[in-house]
Amino acid sequence: MFVWRRWRDVMFRIVVAGLAGYAAICGVGRLVALVGLWVPVSPVETAVDALQALMSFGVIATMLKMLPQLLVLPTRITLQKAYDQLEEEIRQRRAAEAMVRRFQEIEANEAQVRQAQKMEAIGQLTGGVAHDFNNILTVITGTIEILADAVKDRPQLASIANMISAAAERGADLTRHLLAFSRRQPLQPRATDINALVVDAARLLRPTLGEQIEIESMLAHDSAPALIDPSQLSTAILNLALNARDAMPDGGKLTLETKNVVLDEDYARLNNDVKPGNYVMIAVSDTGQGIPPALMDKVFEPFFTTKDAGKGSGLGLSMVYGFVKQSNGHVKIYSEPDHGTTVKLYLPRAAEAPVLPVADTGRPAVARGDETILVVEDDALVRDYVVAQVRRLGYRTLSASNAVEGLALIDNPERIDLLFTDVIIPGGMNGRQLALEAEKRRPGLKVLYTSGYTENAIVHHGRLDADVLLLAKPYLSADLARMIRTALEA
């Protein structure tokens, strides 16, 4: 019965079938022998036959009882089939998992791209606003000095002038941060010793952070120089340290760390704004309250703050973000609520050794002269202010509001020693193109640029051309005087 029911599963079918046939014949033989029991041959043979018959019944009964189990017993073939099925299931499951992972990666990448686009859009908006604001502030910061000078013997008016000056200073500070975020501040990167800069920063931070906060520095003895604007980097570290202080109102520990790191292809794949390569890392860590995961995406946005009104403007991290990006670096923030936060700045390594800053050799307070300066500036308010300032310094001035007017004056026979031009001017040319054209027509003409932010004409990827003199807006009249002299003597 087993062979008949499980014929397809049975191995060595012929042999097993033969054996089954033999067993059946033996069984029939035993049945036939039962009949012989009643035909006595010898009492011994009868007894043996009886015993055998009894055993046969026993065996048959047992086999019938086992038959259901035997029929469901898995054979090698069914096992193989089950195994194959299992393998197929595992394969499908792995493929599904890989697909889910790929989707997650794509989703994460898309989220990153969306975030980057958002930051770009906000950057353009803030950059534009900051640029115009800068022009206004240039006039205020410049003229308020004259006013303060005029009323210095009338204390009440002098204090008002001081107030205006302080407010304008604060405005200039905000605009600087905004320009930094929109990656449009003029940067002057140079090979910088990161360890020395961090040590200096730690010393300056000491009084600001207060007694309750411990500062620890862990500096890599072999840290490479970074190609970065050192004064902006100090500001970035200060912003991070202030955030750390605010996150640790009951005290804690601030750790400043430097290290050489290599960001590889894998890292670049996960962070699509990163170029793989060698970087110098500065990490600023605190043991403060941390940032909730839901806010992680927002902290770099300008004006995002969780601080009370008047306590934070939400520009600290945006400055850090814009500055590091503009310097071809990378920022990463890690935070564990209730445990602390680490911000890592990856700065590009410099090829050459760091240059030691040259000590300022005390220039004369106000440098005057009597040369002729051509001022090209489209904003009438700023132009009038600049002309007035330049005249006060003793120079003769000519002024134009766009490139066409500027070139017309250049073509006049009148003497011109210096072209002082805004970088972004109307008239079909930018300041750089105007200067090149002017130098063609008047070889040896000196040029000084001014700008609220830097554009490609003057700046490649946010860095100043080596041969360009630029006075960043807003500026004090002392800076204007100094830069005019520097340009004339260049």
Give the residues lining the site for Mg ion (CB under 5 A): 243, 316
Q: What are phi and psi of 330, to 5 degrees?
A: -150, 140
Q: How far is the CB of 283 from ligand ATP (least distance, A)?
A: 12
Least distance from ligand ATP to the Cβ atom of residue 233, Å: 16
Least Å from the CB of residue 316 to ligand ATP: 2
Q: Which does 318 bind (CB under 5 to 8 A by kind): ligand ATP, Mg ion, none?
A: ligand ATP
Q: Does 171 bind ligand ATP (CB under 6 A)?
A: no
Q: Which residue's entry shows tokens 């089939």?
A: 81
- Is there binding between residue 315 and ligand ATP (CB under 6 A)? yes
Residue number with CB closer to ligand ATP (239 or 430):
239
* Binding residue (CB under 6 A) for ligand ATP from 5, 203, 307, 368: 307
User: Distance of CA 364 to CAs 263, 277, 448, 473, 486, Å?
Assistant: 47, 45, 20, 22, 12
Distance between CA atoms of residues 14 and 324, nearest Å: 82
- Pick out residues in 336-365 that bind ligand ATP (CB under 6 A): 341
Which is closer to Mg ion, CB of 243 or CB of 285? 243
Residues 190-219 binding ligand ATP (CB under 6 A) are none
Taking the complex as a whole, the smallest distance from the CB of residue 447 to ligand ATP amounts, in Å, to: 36
Closest CA to 354 of 460, 186, 461, 196: 196
Q: At what angle do helices 380-392 and 477-489 cross, to 10 degrees?
A: 70
143 binds ligand ATP (CB under 6 A): no
* Choices 108-116, 137-145, 236-244, 367-375 (CB under 6 A): range interacting with ligand ATP: 236-244
Contact between 290 and 335 (Cβ < 8 Å): yes
- Residue 166: helix, strand or coil by DSSP? helix
Distance (Å, whole) CA 76 – CA 488: 97
The amino acid present at 242, given as its one-letter code, is: L
Q: Is residue 286 close enough to count as binding ligand ATP by CB under 6 A?
A: yes
Give the nearest distance from C-beta 333 to Mg ion in angstroms: 12
Number of residues that bind ligand ATP (CB under 6 A): 22
Residue closer to ligand ATP, measured from CB, 172 or 291: 291
Looking only at the bridges linking them, the beta strands covering 470-472 and 446-451 are parallel
Contact between 275 and 236 under an 8 Å Cβ cutoff? The reply is: no
Task: Provide the 8-state DSSP code for 294.
Answer: G
Identify the residue among 52, 78, 306, 402 touching ligand ATP (CB under 6 A).
Answer: 306
Q: Is 172 exposed, middle or buried (0-12, 13-18, 19+ CB in 10 A)?
A: buried
Enumerate binding residues for ligand ATP (CB under 6 A): 239, 243-244, 247, 286, 288-291, 299, 304-307, 312-318, 341
